[in-house]
Amino acid sequence: MISYLFRKYADYLYTKWEKTFLWDMVEPYRRPKSFTLLATIYIAAFYSGVIGAAITEQLYKVLVLVVIIISCFQC
């Protein structure tokens, strides 16, 4: 009877450790409790990219205009 209890207790401890190990591996992949912070970061990153692209496009246009003006003065 005592060996049976020891075996049951050992099984309980092993499965408890196994469950803890499993959930410790899964926990970093759980969804956050609130998506507000994540959505704010994504929105800020998106609009930063949009603004960066617009600035780059305008700088490119200015650069092309400067190159055309310089080439006209060299003629």
Mean pLDDT by 10 residues, the chain (75 residues): 76 68 70 81 96 96 90 80
Check residue 50 and give its pLDDT: 97
Which structure tokens are listed for 18? 């196994």
What are the residue ranges spanned by the domains of the chain?
1-30, 35-75
| DSSP category for residue 75 | -
Residue in the block written with tokens 């190990």: 21
Which structure tokens are listed for 58? 């305008």
Check residue 44 and give its pLDDT: 97
